Chains A and B, each alone.
Chain A
Amino acid sequence: EVQLVESGGGLVQSGGSLRLSCAASGFTLSDYWMSWVRQAPGKGLEWVANIKQDGSERYYVDSVKGRLTISRDNARNLVYLQMNSLRAEDTAVYHCVRAWQFDLWGRGTLVTVSS
């Protein structure tokens, strides 16, 4: 089955760190750009970061630059989001997304940052 499954979310204090993982299955991960998209409580969808197939290019929304880092391990079919210096405004459900047309989404993992 073609799917993305996120894990690693949880409750963390402001200034803390967390690493999210995304397990891809049913397709060749190395063929696709991948992204993370988040949705804060009561808010809309917000693109967070992109990574190229071989990891050589990465792009971020301004609000997370220098704090969140996207990476990937194609051999293990995994995409990561390392989250440092977390803030209350980072509280959201984080979705892993296949970035060709953003055509495949995971259900997401909830990150809650307490102040």
Chain B
Amino acid sequence: QSVLTQPPSASGTPGQRVTISCSGSSSNIGSITVNWYQHVPGTAPKLLINDDNRRPSGVPDRFSGSRSGTSASLAISALQSEDEADYYCAAWHDSLNGYVFGTGTKVTV
């Protein structure tokens, strides 16, 4: 069972803004940065945001991330049809010496 909680789904029409939340605790999000991943089933997941709000090369600037306290969020500012995918937050968990993923959010356009 994941320790990072996301809403199961989100949706919008092309051009709309969509925000996905990720809720954790002081032992994960509250003390370490968060990454976000985009996953189209059947393909390799893609790193979308690292260190809370940094976009790797090639990621469109309509994707942005933020973190405050024990929560983080991903925003898609102008939704496009190709953004339809599953989105996961994730953070390193010191006591596990491993990575924890959020429960995942399916975005429908």
Given contact pairs A45-B104, A101-B35, A61 touches B56 in the complex (Cβ within 8 A): no
Query: Which chain A residues have a beta carbon within 8 Å of chain B's beta carbons?
Result: 35, 37, 44-47, 49-50, 57, 59-61, 95, 99, 101-108
Q: Tally B residues with Cβ within 8 Å of A.
A: 25
Query: Which chain B residues have a beta carbon within 8 Å of chain A's beta carbons?
Result: 2, 35, 37, 39, 42-47, 50-51, 56, 86, 88, 90, 96-104
Q: How far is the CA of A37 from the CA of B98 in the complex (A)?
A: 11
- Say how far A75's CB is from chain B's closest CB, in angstroms: 25
Q: Is the CB of A50 within 8 A of B45?
A: no
Q: Is the CB of A107 within 8 A of B43?
A: yes
- Say how far A27's CB is from chain B's closest CB, in angstroms: 15
Given contact pairs A44-B104, A102-B37, A61 touches B50 in the complex (Cβ within 8 A): no
| Nearest CB in chain A to that of B43: its residue | A107
Q: Is the CB of B37 within 8 A of A47?
A: no
